[in-house]
Amino acid sequence: MGMNKLIDENVILEILDMIYDKALNGVPKVSCSVDELADDYLSKYPTRESAARHLIRYQLAKCGTSGFVAGLGGIVVLPVALPANMTNVLYVQMRMAAAVAKIGLTIFLKVNSYLHAAIWLRA
């Protein structure tokens, strides 16, 4: 089993299912469940909107930090760092989306519109 093995769609679906399960239920001794995450933010902030904004800011910072750290090794570690970073970003963003949904806030943003998201987060 070398690098020549192709990954078919079933393997990708299994990986996504595993990440989704860990995103919702947490990783033992590493992260809590989405329900606990949402409840934690709801208890810290006065409104659902405020809780969601702070949650999103923190999760986006985690993704940015992860990307920065993954790039520190340069081209030498890229074959390992890139898949690890992609998996981490998927995990963090799935948790963020599920927690915002749990908080009960509906956010209407254009798809791929970072400008709208940035304006909403600053407000």
**What whole-number percentage of the chain has pLDDT above 70?**
80
Domain for residue 20, yes or no?
A: yes
Lowest mean pLDDT among 25-34, 48-57, 67-76: 67-76
Looking at residues 21-37, what average pLDDT do you find?
88
Per residue in 58-83, pLDDT (tens digit) is 888 887 787 777 777 777 777 777 77
Tell whether pTM > 0.85. Answer: no
* Euclidean distance between CA atoms 93 and 19, whole angstroms: 11
- Residues in Cβ contact with 109 at an 8 Å cutoff, skipping those fewer than 6 apart: 116, 117, 120
Q: What is the DSSP-derived secondary structure letter of residue 47?
A: S
Domain for residue 4, yes or no?
A: no
Give residue 44's domain range.
9-122
Contact 120, 107 (CB under 8 A): yes
Residue 110: predicted pLDDT: 40
Domain for residue 2, yes or no?
A: no
Give 105's pLDDT tier (boundaries 50, 70, 90): low
DSSP string, 59-104: HHHHHHHHHHHHHTTGGGTHHHHHHHHHHHHHHHHHHHHHHHHHHT
Number of domain units in the chain: 1
